[in-house]
A and B are shown apart, each in its own frame.
Chain A
Amino acid sequence: MTPVASSVAEPIAGAPPASLAPPAEALPPSPPLQPAMRKPAPKRELRLDLFRGLALWLIFIDHLPANVLTWLTIRNYGFSDATEIFIFISGYTAAFVYGRAMRDQGVVVASARIMKRVWQIYVAHVFLFTIFLAEISYVATSFQNPLYTEEMGILDFLKQPDVTIVQALLLRFRPVNMDVLPLYIVLMFFLPPLLWTMRRSPDLALALATLLYAATWQFDLHLTAYPSGVWAFNPYAWQLLFVFGAWCAMGGAQRLSRVLASNITLWMSVAYLLAAFFITLTWHMPQLYHILPKWLEQWMYPIDKPNLDVLRFAHFLALAAITVRFLHRDWRGLNSPWLRPLVLCGQHSLEIFCLGIFLAFAGYFVLAEISGGAVMHFFVSLAGIVIMSGSAWLFSWYKSAVAKGGSQKTSPDADLAGGDA
């Protein structure tokens, strides 16, 4: 359904009205698969799109060298960052879109659609890897700095492309900044059994996910990477956020609504966010470092990003709780032209995510080869965001043009459409 998002979303079948987090539900993207939409076709939930778009922008900015805009990204103000938002909303929309498909088309067809989606993400990942290879091969031949002889050792893997490329195809060799898609691929791959369980008992699924999360910490479950180390985002741990998103989409958010509306939740969230903010502050201002009591440091550090530290998860929950409370789904600003670029980006998340990674590479390249400088930094960041938004707009336009032109028969293109998981 082309998200020429005109108006406000309203509750959809099976989706909760007040939901957790940048909550809301994305519409199943293809207009045509409606056999069983029992309620009047709902409008798109724009908050999801908005925050996913925001996450995409922030991920892009975080992947560039630090510059003025970097100070706008949330990781400077607390424990969690844009990845949490992205994974949570992905879980939410995936459950919503494919949960509906499972209901309407059966487990087999829905699973097939999910696998098709997994394939698309995989191909996108390989495509990005190719671009990465091109970039660093160039750097390897052009960069001669005696200061960084040791750092250039990273290029050693170019000497054995046979191993490296196979490992990349197996998702075990992942360059910097290319960790999110493999996580996403794994999470989506296990979506069919997850949805199957969730449609019977969302709470059971969430309980199992929590159990797995606990087991991850207890038994140190992880996936190894090549040439050494582990996955930067441990799927055993990060699945919790994805499943939690799915759980919210499957009615959990609705059940949480009373908790979310309570003032206790609000104040706890605010207190936690402030505390996290202060602790983050000590990272940026070493002068403050010694204010923290030692026992707190001992207890708190390291804040484990690969395993989705509880502190990060809690930080995300607090952010989400406050967002849901103050940003209502029928807030008129959601339709304002100013937020439109964000919403559009959120509606085409896979494409825009890949584009963002590519632009980050390209931006680095420009800064390194043509000119650095703060003005250039700023310009590169801004240009990237404009390109992302412009492309998102183009995708939307194309989709609506096709939808208008084509007959009403099912577009197999559904999965590429915006708002998809």
Chain B
Amino acid sequence: MRAGGFASLGRMLGLALLGALAAPGLAMADPAATGCDAPAYLLSTDITLGRVAASLKTDRKLDILVIGSRSSSISSAESTAYPARLQTLLRDKLPGIAVNVSLEMRVKRTAGEVAPGLGPLVAERKPALLIWQTGTYDAIRSIDTDEFRTAISQGIDASQKAGADVILMNLQYSPRTETMINPAPYLDTMRAVAQEHDVPLFDRFALMRHWNETGEFDLFSPSPGIDLAMRVHNCLARALSAFVIDATKINPSELRTLR
């Protein structure tokens, strides 16, 4: 573990200080715990995904379409990347529901290039939920954030109009490339757009940074091999499955009794 103890201690101290001044209800995750643990606020949302919930209750199925880039896959090990893992986990958690997760890769495309295709794609595939992972290529290309913002807005609107709920997924936390790629403006923009459109944002960046700080993963490592990627994707899938279920506001056990 690298960026571990002290950094998170400092952060917690900072937060605690701020928290003491500000408000009650400061829920920090237990850093000692292991196994993909994450603070609760990263795994939950206030927003309800109505179509997903309806699809679960009435059609007893859940079709999810992931629009991703390279970071939604692990080359040469697709079945261990988070979309595939998400399908497995959701099938476990939602017994009796036909869960189907498919991935559409949009490699080296900015949000502006991907957005126009989303409406037709959703109309054709008819998923109940679209998970749109984006931002990395825009950050690499330093796309103007106004443009980025507009593109995401349009993508969300088009997908919703075509009949799917949307979850946004932001960039990966990538400490080694921070001197080269500045993710902050894109993270901020995605958060703002998500708020504006009442769309849940799955904060991949914060999760990965959290895991890096608690020592769950060493994301600084220069040559970790494929194993690290697989473990990270596994944790992301677990977090994402919890997040999706939370957003339906359905207790999985209800689904069982409904039958």
A229→B143 contact, CB < 8 A: yes
Chain A 344-386 interface residues, beta-carbon cutoff 8 Å to B: 360-361, 364, 367-369, 371-375, 377-378
Give how many B residues have a beta carbon under 8 Å from the other chain's beta carbons: 68
B251 contacts the other chain (CB 8 A): no
B7→A68 contact, CB < 8 A: yes
Q: Please indicate the chain A residues that have their CB under 8 angstroms from the CB of B250 in the complex.
A: none
User: Quick one: given A145-B222, A228-B142, A228-B143, are A151 and B2 in contact (CB under 8 Å)?
Assistant: no
* Alpha-carbon distance A168/B47, docked complex (angstroms): 45
User: Quick one: given A228-B143, A286-B41, A372-B218, are A71 and B10 in contact (CB under 8 Å)?
Assistant: yes
CB nearest to B195 among chain A residues: A297
Q: Lowest 6 CB-CB distances: which A-B pairs, in order?
A: A374-B6, A372-B2, A68-B10, A150-B70, A229-B142, A147-B229
User: Quick one: given A147-B172, A148-B174, A297-B195, are A136 and B2 in contact (CB under 8 Å)?
Assistant: no
Q: What 0/1 pattern do residues 140 to 151 of A give for CB contact below 8 A with B?
A: 001111111111
Q: Please indicate the chain A residues that have their CB under 8 angstroms from the CB of B19 in the complex.
A: 285
CB nearest to A148 among chain B residues: B174
B223 contacts the other chain (CB 8 A): yes
A154 contacts the other chain (CB 8 A): yes
B22→A281 contact, CB < 8 A: yes
A327 contacts the other chain (CB 8 A): no
B75→A149 contact, CB < 8 A: yes
B192 contacts the other chain (CB 8 A): yes
**Subset of 8 A-B contacts with CB under 8 Å:** A145-B224, A146-B75, A147-B224, A148-B71, A154-B180, A154-B181, A155-B180, A373-B2
Chain B 162-184 interface residues, beta-carbon cutoff 8 Å to A: 172, 174-182
Q: Please indicate the chain A residues that have their CB under 8 angstroms from the CB of B174 in the complex.
A: 148, 151
Q: Please indicate the chain A residues that have their CB under 8 angstroms from the CB of B8 in the complex.
A: 374
A281→B71 contact, CB < 8 A: no
* Alpha-carbon distance A145/B177, docked complex (angstroms): 11
Q: Please indicate the chain A residues that have their CB under 8 angstroms from the CB of B177 in the complex.
A: 148, 151-152, 154
Among A147, A153, A287, chain B packs the most CB atoms within 10 A around the CB of: A147
Binds A, one of B23-31, B54-62, B117-125: B23-31
CB nearest to A307 among chain B residues: B146
Q: Please indicate the chain B residues that have their CB under 8 angstroms from the CB of A36 in the complex.
A: none
User: Quick one: given A135-B179, A147-B172, A152-B177, are A229 and B144 in contact (CB under 8 Å)?
Assistant: yes
B3 contacts the other chain (CB 8 A): yes
B161 contacts the other chain (CB 8 A): no
A225 contacts the other chain (CB 8 A): yes
B15→A285 contact, CB < 8 A: yes
Q: Please indicate the chain B residues that have their CB under 8 angstroms from the CB of A371 in the complex.
A: 2
A227 contacts the other chain (CB 8 A): yes
* Alpha-carbon distance A378/B220, docked complex (angstroms): 16
A177 contacts the other chain (CB 8 A): yes
B98 contacts the other chain (CB 8 A): no
Q: Please indicate the chain B residues that have their CB under 8 angstroms from the CB of A285 in the complex.
A: 15, 18-19, 22-23, 26
Q: Please indicate the chain B residues that have their CB under 8 angstroms from the CB of A136 in the complex.
A: 179-180
* Alpha-carbon distance A229/B147, docked complex (angstroms): 9
B137→A150 contact, CB < 8 A: yes
Chain B 194-250 interface residues, beta-carbon cutoff 8 Å to A: 195-196, 218-226, 228-229, 232
B78 contacts the other chain (CB 8 A): no
CB nearest to B180 among chain A residues: A154
Query: A142's contact among B41, B144, B222, by CB below 8 Å, is which?
Result: B222
A361→B26 contact, CB < 8 A: no
Query: A284's contact among B1, B10, B18, B140, by CB below 8 Å, is which?
Result: B18
Q: Please indicate the chain A residues that have their CB under 8 angstroms from the CB of B7 in the complex.
A: 66-68, 374, 377
B3→A372 contact, CB < 8 A: yes
A264 contacts the other chain (CB 8 A): no
* Alpha-carbon distance A375/B178, docked complex (angstroms): 20
Known: A68-B7, A147-B172, A378-B6. 10 other contacts (CB 8 A): A143-B222, A148-B174, A154-B140, A154-B177, A176-B179, A227-B142, A229-B142, A297-B192, A368-B220, A377-B6
* Alpha-carbon distance A148/B3, docked complex (angstroms): 18
Q: Please indicate the chain B residues that have their CB under 8 angstroms from the CB of A14 in the complex.
A: none
User: Quick one: given A364-B178, A369-B222, are A225 and B142 in contact (CB under 8 Å)?
Assistant: yes
Q: Please indicate the chain B residues that have their CB under 8 angstroms from the CB of A232 in the complex.
A: 142, 182
Q: Please indicate the chain A residues that have their CB under 8 angstroms from the CB of B42 in the complex.
A: 286
Q: Please indicate the chain B residues that have their CB under 8 angstroms from the CB of A112 in the complex.
A: none
CB nearest to B206 among chain A residues: A286
Q: Please indicate the chain A residues that have their CB under 8 angstroms from the CB of B93 in the complex.
A: none
B149 contacts the other chain (CB 8 A): yes
A290 contacts the other chain (CB 8 A): yes
Q: Please indicate the chain B residues that have their CB under 8 angstroms from the CB of A287 in the complex.
A: 23, 25-27, 41
CB nearest to B46 among chain A residues: A290
* Alpha-carbon distance A147/B80, docked complex (angstroms): 12
Q: What 0/1 pattern do residues 42 to 67 of A give for CB contact below 8 A with B?
A: 00000000000000000000000111
A337 contacts the other chain (CB 8 A): no
Q: Please indicate the chain A residues that have their CB under 8 angstroms from the CB of B50 in the complex.
A: none
Q: Please indicate the chain B residues that have their CB under 8 angstroms from the CB of A361 in the complex.
A: 179
Chain A 114-156 interface residues, beta-carbon cutoff 8 Å to B: 132, 135-136, 139, 142-155
